[in-house]
Amino acid sequence: MIATHTMPLEAATPAYICPFDQACSYLEAAAKELRLDQGVLEILSHPRKVVTVAIPVKLDNGEIRVLAGHRVQHSDILGPYKGGIRYHPAVTLREVSALAMLMTWKCALLGIPYGGAKGGIAIDPQHYSVGELERITRRYTSELIKDIGPSLDIPAPDMGTSAREMAWMMDTYSVNVGHAVPGVVTGKPLSVGGSLGREKATGRGTMIIVREALADQGKTLEGIRVVIQGFGNVGGAAAELLHQAGAKVIAVSTTTGGVYSPDGLDIPALKAYAAKNHHNLIDFPHTRAITNAELLTLPCDVLIPAALENQITEENVHQVQAQIIAEAANGPITLEANRVLEARGVTVLPDILANAGGVVVSYLEWVQGLSYLFWDEERVNRELESLMVQAYRQVIQQSKVRQVPLRLAAYTLGVGRVAQALNDRGLYP
């Protein structure tokens, strides 16, 4: 394993599967397959810059609270840093560092000229008012003002954030530099330079990868039984698009639990029900309530974890019945569980491929913003599909040539491209 004791990060508890250690393990496996120089591996295993800032905020009741905000910039070898901003109670510096590393390989795999970054604040946004969230976001942005920019580091929405937070970030940055800078973030509202197709991009990308994997098995989406953990921006979009394509989505869930119907769910009606009931799905007509743990073990053709990391572990992997698993979340399968699934012949579509649709359309939004020429949604979706299918085919070819599982194939492509660029650029000074 790559030594990580030099990282200025929190120590993981024994029972916790550390996302950063897991990311380093995949990096090490790819480096071994690629026979990378140890010095190159050492560079790639450490983020270039780790920033933690204090965020003092006055709550609506007058109380002053100081939060910690993180931004980790892993690599800019291929281009500006790129990565989401996450608001979630489980955010840690180690998690953010892992996600920044994954973004580096993801961008390289998709052929996008970005490096990886990630940011986050350990809060539950549901426990804060809109005004409090705005003050938190604006202060966080102002503290990072020298570390972000359209040619330096371009944040985007992630778990717990949305176009609303991106608009606040864009405005705060623009006010500080004295002119409008729409390219400083992506995932913005359309009114301030956002892109059509961005909201459903990650879910659409997942649907495309699942469709291609099924096609390689001689199947189509029509009638395929799909289970989705997560019914937010990613899982909800994937469910809607799969439903439209003829798939039978038989179960979905949120943090409060899920619903199951072996005959398939009415996804448009379920989305409307969730919107009216604060994202609660329980008691949706003609369904059975299930827990998130039960959902992962349902008999199905395709399982899509679209929530948090470490959901399929050595404790429940033997109960998983899906033949295809598409990682719409980052790191939802632990190392040991991944080995079990690969040994069983389960097709695992890795996160750096299956959930790359978001960064693809973020890139397309950035390109549109820089050129001040905006596209219709049909063109955005067409460009997204082209890049996703191309990356999928390259991963399949790499898997066959190297005779390795899809995850290792994807990592060898992503890591290999970054390593090649590093060698070509050289080491300064």
**Could you read off the pLDDT tens digit of each residue along the chain, which spans 429 residues?**
333 333 333 333 334 578 899 999 999 999 999 999 999 999 999 999 999 999 999 999 999 999 999 999 999 999 999 999 999 999 999 999 999 999 999 999 999 999 999 999 999 999 999 999 999 999 999 999 999 999 999 999 999 999 999 999 999 999 999 999 999 999 999 999 999 999 999 999 999 999 999 999 999 999 999 999 999 999 999 999 999 999 999 999 998 899 999 999 999 999 999 999 888 898 899 999 999 999 999 999 999 999 988 999 999 999 999 999 999 999 999 999 999 999 999 999 999 999 999 999 999 999 999 998 999 999 999 999 999 999 999 999 999 999 999 999 999 999 999 999 999 999 998
- The answer to whether the CB of 256 falls within 8 A of the CB of 280 is yes
CATH of the domain at 147: 3.40.50.10860
Please tell me whether the peptide bond between 429 and the residue prior to it is cis, using omega within 30 degrees of 0.
yes
Catalytic residue among 118, 200, 248, 271: 118
Dist. CA 117–CA 103, nearest whole Å: 6
| 392 within domain boundaries | no
Q: Within this chain, do residues 151 and 257 fall inside the same structural domain, yes or no?
A: no
Residue 31 host element (H or E): helix 19-34
- Alpha helices, DSSP H only, in 246-373? 267-276, 292-295, 335-344, 351-354, 357-371
Q: Within this chain, do residues 168 and 275 fall inside the same structural domain, yes or no?
A: no
Q: Within this chain, do residues 208 and 339 fall inside the same structural domain, yes or no?
A: yes
Q: Within this chain, do residues 105 and 206 fall inside the same structural domain, yes or no?
A: no
CATH of the domain at 208: 3.40.50.720
Has 58 been annotated as catalytic?
no
Q: Within this chain, do residues 218 and 308 fall inside the same structural domain, yes or no?
A: yes
**pLDDT score, position 85:** 98
Question: What are the beta bridge partners of residue 162?
Answer: none
Q: Within this chain, do residues 26 and 174 fall inside the same structural domain, yes or no?
A: yes
| 348 within domain boundaries | yes
Q: Within this chain, do residues 159 and 23 fall inside the same structural domain, yes or no?
A: yes
Q: Within this chain, do residues 104 and 236 fall inside the same structural domain, yes or no?
A: no
Q: Within this chain, do residues 312 and 276 fall inside the same structural domain, yes or no?
A: yes
Last residue of a domain, one of 289, 324, 354: 354
Q: Are strands 153-157 and 115-121 parallel, antiparallel or unpaired?
A: unpaired
- The answer to whether the CB of 73 falls within 8 A of the CB of 81 is yes
Q: Within this chain, do residues 215 and 348 fall inside the same structural domain, yes or no?
A: yes
Q: How many domains does the chain have?
A: 2
| 35 within domain boundaries | yes
| 189 within domain boundaries | no
User: pLDDT tens digits for 342-363?
Assistant: 999 999 999 999 999 999 999 9
User: pLDDT tens digits for 214-259?
Assistant: 999 999 999 999 999 999 999 999 999 999 999 999 999 998 899 9
Classify each residue of 387-416 as buried b or exposed e, where b means 16 or more C-beta atoms within 10 Å of its C-beta: bbeebbebbbebbeeeebbbbbbbbbbbbb
**pLDDT score, position 3:** 37
Q: Are strands 64-73 and 49-58 parallel, antiparallel or unpaired?
A: antiparallel
Last residue of a domain, one of 354, 383, 402: 354
Contacts of 337 by beta carbon, 8 Å cutoff, 6+ apart: 312, 313, 314, 316, 317
| 2 within domain boundaries | no
**Number of Cβ atoms within 10 Å of the Cβ of 367:** 14
| 289 within domain boundaries | yes
- Alpha helices, DSSP H only, in 89-200? 93-109, 130-143, 163-177
Dist. CA 222–CA 286, nearest whole Å: 22
Q: Within this chain, do residues 222 and 162 fall inside the same structural domain, yes or no?
A: no
| 113 within domain boundaries | yes
Last residue of a domain, one of 180, 215, 235: 180
**Tokens for 418?**
């970054």
Name the residue type at position 372.
Y
Q: Within this chain, do residues 297 and 236 fall inside the same structural domain, yes or no?
A: yes
**Number of Cβ atoms within 10 Å of the Cβ of 215:** 12
Q: Which domain holds residue 335?
A: 201-354
**pLDDT score, position 16:** 56
Dist. CA 7–CA 102, nearest whole Å: 17
Measured CA to CA in angstroms, residue 258 lies from 63, 272, 302, 318, 415 at distances of: 36, 15, 17, 21, 37
| 112 within domain boundaries | yes
**Long-range residue pairs from 384-387, CB within 8 A, at least 24 positions apart, any chain:** 384/197, 384/201, 384/204, 384/205, 384/208, 384/357, 384/360, 385/208, 387/110, 387/111, 387/112, 387/360
